[in-house]
């Protein structure tokens, strides 16, 4: 699976958009970009994933560059409850078998008043 | 239940003691994963089950670690002769299918402290 690079920490004011970047310059054509987050003392929580088109759901938006070498997770109106470690993961989607997610150290997002 | 349940939530073991950690996945979920998370690090893969079959155990750090899922539902991670370096949060995750792409649901983990 392709390696990802994320800033170790970011701050965001409550109510503002949080934009979390991720570099994955060695991503392969069949690899998806996944985002998970982990709130303190909880297990990771799935947020969103995409291949090459931008994606949006009730939690966030995912913007993937045209060359797919980087992406940005956008939380449109951050709240204090969005304070967490955010993990960007790239991996292939294969039918017939599920396999592990490879987590890095992620970005620690601190949302402040 | 609605989510993945892990027990106990906290476990303190004396060095050399055997421990067993339990995972109750979401009912009907085919895939089950165990991860180990050291303090300040991201989760690291230990092992994967598809139903009762253990398809990947490449992440188990030593032969003191053993996992089973005999009936394809509940899983147990056993650690024999615990050592201080085994201190970590052990996370379980399940997925409804065997196809990667579905979001995995994680439990809240078991925090193991070896003293």
Predicted local confidence at residue B98, as pLDDT: 63
Average pLDDT over residues B28-41: 94
Please indicate whether, in this complex, the C-beta atoms of B45 and A41 are within 8 angstroms of each other. no
Q: Which of B41, B100, B105 sits opposite A93 (nearest CB)?
A: B100
pLDDT band at B70 (very low <50, low <70, confident <90, very high): very high
pLDDT in tens, chain A (113 residues): 668 999 999 999 999 999 999 999 999 888 889 999 999 999 999 999 999 989 999 999 999 999 999 999 999 999 999 999 999 998 876 655 566 788 988 999 999 99
Chain B CB within 8 Å of residue A37 CB: no
Phi, psi (deg, nearest 5) at residue B67: -130, 150
Please indicate whether, in this complex, the C-beta atoms of B106 and A45 are within 8 angstroms of each other. yes
Predicted local confidence at residue A94, as pLDDT: 61
Residues of B in contact with A92 (CB under 8 A): 100
In this structure, which long-range contacts are made by residues A25-32, counting pairs with CB atoms below 8 Å and at least 24 apart in sequence? A25/A69, A25/A70, A26/A2, A27/A2, A27/A68, A27/A69, A27/A90, A28/A2, A28/A92, A30/A92, A30/A93, A31/A1, A31/A2, A31/A90, A31/A91, A31/A92, A32/A90, A32/A91, A32/A92, A32/A93, A32/B101
Residues of A in contact with B41 (CB under 8 A): 105
With H, G, I as helix, E, B as strand and everything else as coil, classify residue A48: strand
Please count the other Cβ atoms lying within 10 Å of the Cβ belonging to residue A29: 8
Strand order in the sheet with A18-23: A18-23, A70-75, A61-64, A55-56
Tell me the nearest-neighbour CA distance from A41 into chain B, angstroms.
7
DSSP class per residue in B92-113: EEEESSSSBTBPPEE---EEEE
* Measured distance CA(B107)–CA(B90) in Å, rounded: 9
* Measured distance CA(B95)–CA(A85) in Å, rounded: 22
CB A17 within 8 A of CB A76: yes
Number of A/B CB contacts below 8 angstroms equals 70
pLDDT for B37 beyond 80 = yes
Which chain A residue has its CA at the smallest distance from B42's CA? A105
Residues of B in contact with A101 (CB under 8 A): 43, 45, 104
Please indicate whether, in this complex, the C-beta atoms of B101 and A104 are within 8 angstroms of each other. no
Phi, psi (deg, nearest 5) at residue B84: -60, -35
Predicted local confidence at residue A100, as pLDDT: 78
Q: Which of A92, A97, A104 sits opposite B42 (nearest CB)?
A: A104
């Amino acid at each position: 699976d392709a390696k990802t690079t994320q800033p170790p920490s970011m701050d965001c004011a409550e109510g503002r958009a949080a934009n979390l970047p991720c570099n994955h310059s060695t991503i392969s054509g069949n690899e998806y970009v996944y985002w998970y987050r982990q709130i303190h003392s909880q297990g990771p929580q799935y947020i969103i994933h995409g291949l090459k088109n931008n994606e949006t759901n009730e939690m966030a938006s995912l913007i993937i560059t045209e060359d797919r070498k980087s992406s940005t997770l956008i939380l449109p109106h951050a709240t204090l409850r969005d304070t967490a470690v955010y993990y960007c993961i790239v991996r292939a989607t294969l039918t017939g078998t599920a396999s592990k997610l490879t987590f890095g150290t992620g970005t620690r997002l601190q949302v402040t008043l | 239940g609605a989510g993945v349940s892990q027990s106990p939530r906290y476990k303190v073991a004396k060095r050399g003691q055997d421990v067993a950690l339990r995972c109750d996945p979401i009912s009907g979920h085919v895939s089950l994963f165990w991860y180990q998370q050291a303090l300040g690090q991201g989760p690291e893969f230990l092992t994967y089950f598809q139903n009762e079959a253990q398809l990947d155990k490449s992440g188990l750090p030593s032969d003191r670690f053993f996992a089973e899922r005999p009936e394809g539902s509940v899983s147990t991670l056993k650690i024999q002769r615990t050592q201080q370096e085994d201190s970590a949060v052990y996370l379980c995750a399940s997925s409804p299918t065997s196809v990667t792409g579905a979001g995995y649901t994680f439990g809240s983990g078991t925090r193991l402290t070896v003293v």
